[in-house]
Amino acid sequence: MKWLKEGEAEFLAEVSGGERGPGKRSGVFYNPAMKLSRDLTVLVAAGLMRGRGEILFFDALAGSGVRGLRVLKEGPSLSGGRVRCIFSDISRDAAESIEKSLKRNFAEGEVFEGDARELFHTIKADFLDIDPYGSPAPYLPEALRSVRHGGILAITATDTAPLSGTYPTTCLRRYLAWSEKVEFLKEMALRILLGYAVRVAASRDVCLKPLLSYYKDHYLRAFLQVSRSRGRAREALRSVAHILLRRGSLGRRVVWIYRGGWEKPRDLQLIGPLWVGETSDVRFLKGLKDLPAGERYGEALSLVDTLSEETGYPPWYYEVNEVARALRSEPLSMEKVKERLGEGGFRFSRTHYSATAFKTDAPGEQLEEILYGGGI
Ligand SMILES: C[S@@+](CC[C@H](N)C(=O)[O-])C[C@H]1O[C@@H](n2cnc3c(N)ncnc32)[C@H](O)[C@@H]1O
C-alpha cells in the first residue's frame, strides 16, 4: 500500500486498475479509472450542501475512502456549505486505511468496519453512495431506508454483461427485467438499472428520480433523488415500460406497463409482469388431504380439493356471463359448459376464484364454436 492523491485528498491504498476498465478486487481498492465518477460525486454532493447548508455524506462501500475524503476536502469550498462524513467497509484493512487517511488530511469522520446493510437501519444520510463490486441490487432495498427525504442515493453498477444483453437470464434474476443484444444496448442497460431501482423503491413508498445517470467504459452510475411519497412513487412507475422491437427492423415502440395498458391499439390490454406457473403444488395439497383432519376442517379441505382440480390450466379463468356478453349470447349453465368442453375434447374445472367461472385448456378464440356452435 502507498500514499496516493486524487483531487484534494491523500489516501492509503493499492492501485487496483489502470486508466480504463475494472480494477482487481483485492487489498484496499482504488481504481483510477473511476475518477470521473468521483469528480461527479463531489459536484453533486456540493450542490446538495449548497441547498441544505450541512449534509451527512455516507460512503457506504468506501474502499480506500477516497470518495468521501474528496467530498470532505473539496465540497465545502465548492459550495460554501458543510459536510460530515461516515465511511464503512466490510474489510478491516480498508477501515484502518481510512482512519489513517483522515488523519493525514486533518479531516474528521466516523469509520465503521462491517456490512453496510446493517448500518442502513440506523444511519439517515443526505447522500448515500453505493459503489460495489458488481451489482448494487443486493443493497438497494435496505439502502432506501438510509436516505432522508430530498436526499440523494448514488449507485454504481459494473455488471454490464447481464444489463446489456450478454446474460439475459442473470439480468432477469437480478433486475427482474429482460435484456437482449439490441443496437442501443448501453442505453438499455442504464434504463434497466433505473427501472429496477424505481420499482424496488416504489414498493416501499419511495420515489427515485434520476438526477444524473450515465454509462462509461465498464460501469454505469446514477444519482437519484429520494422522496418519501406514495403519490410520487406511483407517478414514477408511469415511466417504467417495455420496449418492443422487431428483429431486422428499425421500428421500435414503447409498451407502457404501469399506465393501465397499452396506449395503442386501445382494444389490447397488457398485464404483468406476473407469475404464470402453478399457483399451488398438487403434491403438497395431496399431503394436506392425507392428514387425519376432522369435519371442522371441512371448508379448508374443500378449498384444497378445488385448488387441486384447477392446476394444470392456462393462467386465467372465464366468467360464464362475460363469455356470453363477449359472444353476444345467453349465458350457459356450468353443467352445459362442462359438457360442451368435454365433447370438444377439452378439460374443464370449476375454480375457487368465482362460483360462476371455469378454467379450461380450450383456446379462447375457439370458445364460441365449442360452447355455442350447436346452439344454446
Ligand atoms: C468498488 S470498491 C469501492 C471503491 C470506492 N468507493 C472508490 O470510490 O474507490 C467496493 C468496496 O466495497 C466493500 N464491500 C463489499 N461488500 C461490502 C458490504 N456488504 N458492506 C460494506 N462494504 C463492502 C469492499 O471491501 C470494497 O472495498
- Write out the chain in H/E/C secondary structure: CEEEEECCEEEEEEECCCCCCCCCCCCCEECHHHHHHHHHHHHHHHHHHHHHCEEEEEECCCCCCHHHHHHHHHHHHHHCCEEEEEEEECCHHHHHHHHHHHHHCCCCCEEEECCHHHHCCCCCEEEEEECCCCCCHHHHHHHHHHEEEEEEEEEEECCHHHHCCCCHHHHHHHHCCCCCCCCCHHHHHHHHHHHHHHHHHHCCCCEEEEEEEEEECCEEEEEEEEECCHHHHHHHHCCCEEEEECCCCCCEEEEECCCCCCCCCCCCCCCCCCCCCCCCCHHHHHHHHCCCCCHHHHHHHHHHHHHHHCCCCCCCCEEHHHHHHHCCCCCCCHHHHHHHHHHCCCCEEEECCEEEEEEECCCHHHHHHHHHCCCC
With the C-alpha atoms ordered 55, 61, 62, 67, is the resulting torsion angle positive or negative? negative
Residues 320 and 348 both lie in one domain: yes
- The residue among 312, 334, 355 that closes a domain is 312
Number of domains observed in the structure of the chain: 3
Query: How many Å is the maximal CA-CA distance in the chain?
Result: 90
Residues 223 and 367 both lie in one domain: no
Distance (Å) of CA 270 to CA 111, 256, 273: 49, 8, 9
Residues 20 and 56 both lie in one domain: yes
Distance (Å) of CA 203 to CA 123, 268, 321: 21, 27, 35
Kindly report the CATH number assigned to the domain that includes residue 80: 3.40.50.150
| d(CA 191, ligand 1 centre) in Å | 24
pLDDT per residue as tens digits for the range 213-271: 999 999 999 999 999 999 999 999 999 999 888 888 788 888 887 876 555 566 667 67
- The residue among 287, 312, 337 that closes a domain is 312
Q: Which residues of the chain register pLDDT less than 50?
A: none
pLDDT for position 273? 78
pLDDT for position 130? 98
pLDDT for position 260? 67
Residue 266 belongs to a domain = no
Kindly report the pTM of this predicted structure. 0.88
Residue 196 belongs to a domain = yes
Is residue 341 a contact partner of residue 360, using CB atoms and an 8 Å limit?
Answer: yes
Residues 230 and 349 both lie in one domain: no
Ligand 1 pocket residue status of 132, Cβ below 6 Å: yes
pLDDT for position 234? 95
Residues 180 and 124 both lie in one domain: yes
Residue 171 belongs to a domain = yes
pLDDT for position 264? 56
Residue 15 belongs to a domain = yes
Residues 160 and 62 both lie in one domain: yes
Pairing of strands 241-245, 252-256: antiparallel
Residues 217 and 292 both lie in one domain: no
Pairing of strands 252-256, 219-227: unpaired
| d(CA 89, ligand 1 centre) in Å | 6
Structural domain for 191, as ranges: 2-245
Rounded Cα distance, 72 and 107, in Å: 7
pLDDT for position 262? 57
Residues 31 and 177 both lie in one domain: yes
Residues 31 and 149 both lie in one domain: yes
Most ligand 1 atoms within 8 A of CB, residue of 61, 118, 219 to mutate:
61
Ligand 1 pocket residue status of 87, Cβ below 6 Å: no
Residue 272 belongs to a domain = no
Ligand 1 pocket residue status of 66, Cβ below 6 Å: yes
Residues 141 and 231 both lie in one domain: yes
Ligand 1 pocket residue status of 32, Cβ below 6 Å: no
Kindly report the CATH number assigned to the domain that includes residue 352: 3.30.56.70
- The residue among 245, 266, 295 that closes a domain is 245
Residues 83 and 119 both lie in one domain: yes
Residues 196 and 297 both lie in one domain: no
Residue 64 belongs to a domain = yes
Residue 371 belongs to a domain = yes
Which of 326, 338, 330 lies closest to 376, judged by CA? Answer: 330
Residue 129 belongs to a domain = yes
pLDDT for position 257? 79
pLDDT for position 376? 63
